[in-house]
């Protein structure tokens, strides 16, 4: 808000800018750990080097909605990058991201994505070598499309 104030934007112009904006909230997500495979939904099996994750949660722990999912699918297709969907198992609650806060407080459409990791929040997190590169390529595609 301070930037828009500094540029002399009115409250209406700020609301218009937020309505025309899109946030890609990017961090990490859970890949299926071979030692804890039962903690994942049997129909949703994110793997290392399978592509970046599109994070979806019915309890709104992530901000991805149908519009965001469609945008992400198009960006990945246009960049030639595979992606995976991460839907947390109903029996184990998941963490959250800044995505829901951004979407709710600012009214900016948001999609939550990330790199699949094993052992998230441990001293030895690891990811596939391809996934950070692929996430960077899709992010680059987002900025090309948005420009």
Whether 6 is covered by a domain: the verdict is no
At 24, the pLDDT band (50, 70, 90 cuts) reads confident
Domain with 32, as residue range(s), is 21-146
Mean pLDDT of the chain: 83
36 within domain boundaries: yes
From CA 121, how far away is CA 12, in angstroms rounded? 41
The count of domains in the chain is 1
For residue 37, being part of any structural domain is answered with yes
Per-residue model confidence as pLDDT tens digits over 134-143: 999 999 999 9
Is the model more confident about 11 or about 95? 11
Asked if residue 37 has pLDDT above 70, the reply is yes
Is residue 1 situated within a structural domain? no
- Single pTM value for the model: 0.82
CA atoms of 83 and 81, how far apart (whole Å): 6
CATH number at residue 41: 3.40.630.10
């Amino acid at each position: 808000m301070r930037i828009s104030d500094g540029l002399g934007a009115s409250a209406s112009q700020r609301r218009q800018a937020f309505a025309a904006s899109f946030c890609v909230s990017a961090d990490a997500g859970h890949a299926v750990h071979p030692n804890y495979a039962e903690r994942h939904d049997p129909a949703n099996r994110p793997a290392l080097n399978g592509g970046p994750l599109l994070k979806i949660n019915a309890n709104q722990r992530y901000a991805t909605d149908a519009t965001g999912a469609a945008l992400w699918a198009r960006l990945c297709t246009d960049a030639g990058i595979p992606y995976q969907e991460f839907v947390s198992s109903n029996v184990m609650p998941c963490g959250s991201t800044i995505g829901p806060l951004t979407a709710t407080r600012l009214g900016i459409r948001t999609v939550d994505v990330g790199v699949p990791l094993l052992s998230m929040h441990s001293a030895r997190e690891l990811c596939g070598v391809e996934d950070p590169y692929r996430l960077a390529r899709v992010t680059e595609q987002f900025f090309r499309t948005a420009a």
